[in-house]
Amino acid sequence: MPRIKYKDSDVALMARMMRAEAEGEGKQGMLYVGNVIVNRAQADCLDFQDLRTVPQVIYQVQGGNYSFEAVQKGNVFYNRARESEKRLAKRNLDYWRQQPGKYALWYFNPYGPCPSTWYGQPFAGQYLNHCYYEPEAGTCASVYR
């Protein structure tokens, strides 16, 4: 059973986002970004209470900006999804989860070392240039299912 419900168009959209956000970090880096997307759709807490689909997650606006920088800036996000990234997205949607993105709801690429918290959320780990953060214990049980 998939982690969340999805359609073929969701796979392609997620694949585009994974590549746009982490292509320079290879397949593994793209899978971690995919974890965050699926985790946000599963989360019933914090800023993600009303998000249940891949498009809702990817096109979420917070504070007047899209949550994912790639949507705002365009870049690779607006290219067609490639089959290799679609396969990765489908893995995330169906079953794949690993640390540091296993339970992460946030990631970013800092100009220096990863801070121990980001907007009050604890550091879960780092993969190449991206730092991953999961919800503080007890604040978002739905993401740990």
Q: Supply the DSSP symbol for 128.
A: T
Q: Enter the pTM of the model.
A: 0.95
Interval 80-100: pLDDT, tens: 999 999 999 999 999 999 999
Q: What is the pLDDT of residue 84?
A: 97
Computed over every residue of the chain, the mean pLDDT equals: 94
Interval 28-80: pLDDT, tens: 999 999 999 999 999 999 999 999 999 999 999 998 999 998 998 877 788 99
Residue identified by tokens 């540091």 is 100
How far apart are the C-alpha atoms of 20 and 17, rounded to whole Å? 5
For residue 112, the SS3 value is coil
Domain ranges of the chain: 8-144
